[in-house]
Structure 1
Amino acid sequence: MTRPTPHGRAEYPYHHPMPTRWADNDVYGHVNNVTYYAYFDTAVNAYLTARGALDIHAGSVIGLVVETGCAYFAPAAFPDVLSVGVRVARLGSSSVRYELAVFRGNDEAACAQGHFVHVYVDRETRRPTTLPDTLRAALEELRAP
């Protein structure tokens, strides 16, 4: 397996500020690996709700994560202030592959980067559904070149 190289900050059209918390650190003194997935989820959902593309409480469509992955390049630790870059690598009729990268302070290279795939489903039936126009438009803004 080929090890990925860290992406640059400019490769991501949206950045969400993410201050670390004391509880993010593990006994080894750095942000625990599972915490990065929470950062990813927070950045994507903050973007979508801010644009009115996702109503997490009452919307008819919700996103379910069906795949994730992350590569780590350098440690982050409390009290680092991070930024999570978000882009869309693939946009289907009911699914989206997000690519994300975590940057420390003003660093240009990612300290971690990963992906996750959402399948958007009807809230009641949990069956895949076509992306609503407002959601698709918000995701189009994040398309990777």
Structure 2
Amino acid sequence: MTQDHGYPVLWPVPTRWADNDHYGHVNNVTYYSYFDTAVNAWLISATGTDIRDLHAIGVVAQTSCKFLGSISFPDMLRVGIRVSRLGTSSINYELAIFRDGGDHLDLAATGTFTHVYVDEQTRKPVPIPAVIRAAAEPLVVAGPAES
């Protein structure tokens, strides 16, 4: 897939049978699971590290989702990932969920996701681990977030 649709990473995420609700489409809360899965799977892949073993953990401090289209099992998805802000102890991600149509992507949702890095024991904010920062830096985009 050659187009990035403004997102440097397009992480594959399959829908699951259990994702569909009574109305035959993926339930709204599941979109947040796709965001979480894509960001953390990408972090593990990009860093070559099991992020659960780092001295600091990324906790989700804020998340949002704007629903733009319906998806359902067995759709294959691509979650677009980019960084709108890379702070001292937090990373703001901008995300998009696309239905993968093979030769094209259909936008189904956009959202945000903020990781705040905290000490594993004290839960006090700490600097972003160097390996995470190095992976996130290439994803930083300039300009305001898409609506």
Same fold per superposition (TM over 0.5): yes
Residues 53 and 138 of structure 1 are in contact (CA less than 8 Å); yes or no, is this contact kept in structure 2? no
Q: Does 1:121 align with 2:121?
A: no
Secondary structure at the counterpart of residue 110 of structure 1: strand
Q: 1:96 to 1:90 in 2, by over 3 A?
A: same
Q: Which residue of 1 aligns with 2:92?
A: 97
| TM-score, normalised by the number of residues in structure 1 | 0.89
Which runs of 5 or more structure 1 residues have no equivalent in the other structure?
A: 1-7
Give the Cα–Cα distance (whole angstroms) in 1 for the partners of residues 133 and 69 of structure 2: 33
Q: 1:39-54 to 2 correspondence within 5 Å? A: 39-52=34-47
| TM-score, normalised by the number of residues in structure 2 | 0.88
Q: Shift of residue 52 of structure 1? A: 2.4
Q: Which residue of 1 aligns with 2:131?
A: 134
User: Which of residues 41, 61, 82 in structure 1 aligns to 2:77?
Assistant: 82
Give the Cα–Cα distance (whole angstroms) in 2 for the partners of residues 105 and 82 of structure 1: 5
Q: Does 1:111 align with 2:108?
A: yes
Residues 30 and 78 of structure 1 are in contact (CA less than 8 Å); yes or no, is this contact kept in structure 2? yes
Q: Shift of residue 109 of structure 1? A: 4.3
Q: Which residue of 1 aligns with 2:66?
A: 71
CA RMSD of aligned residues (A): 1.6
Q: Shift of residue 53 of structure 1? A: 6.4
Residues 43 and 51 of structure 2 are in contact (CA less than 8 Å); yes or no, is this contact kept in structure 1? no
Which runs of 5 or more structure 2 residues have no equivalent in the other structure?
A: 143-147
Secondary structure at the counterpart of residue 51 of structure 2: coil
Q: Aligned partner of 1:142: which letter?
A: L
Secondary structure at the counterpart of residue 141 of structure 1: helix
Q: 1:44 to 1:74 in 2, by over 3 A?
A: same
Give the Cα–Cα distance (whole angstroms) in 1 for the partners of residues 55 and 49 of structure 2: 9
Q: 1:53 to 1:97 in 2, by over 3 A?
A: farther
| Identity %, equivalent residues | 53
Deviation readout 1:26-62 (Å, 9 max, x if unpaired): 0011001000101000111111111226533321110
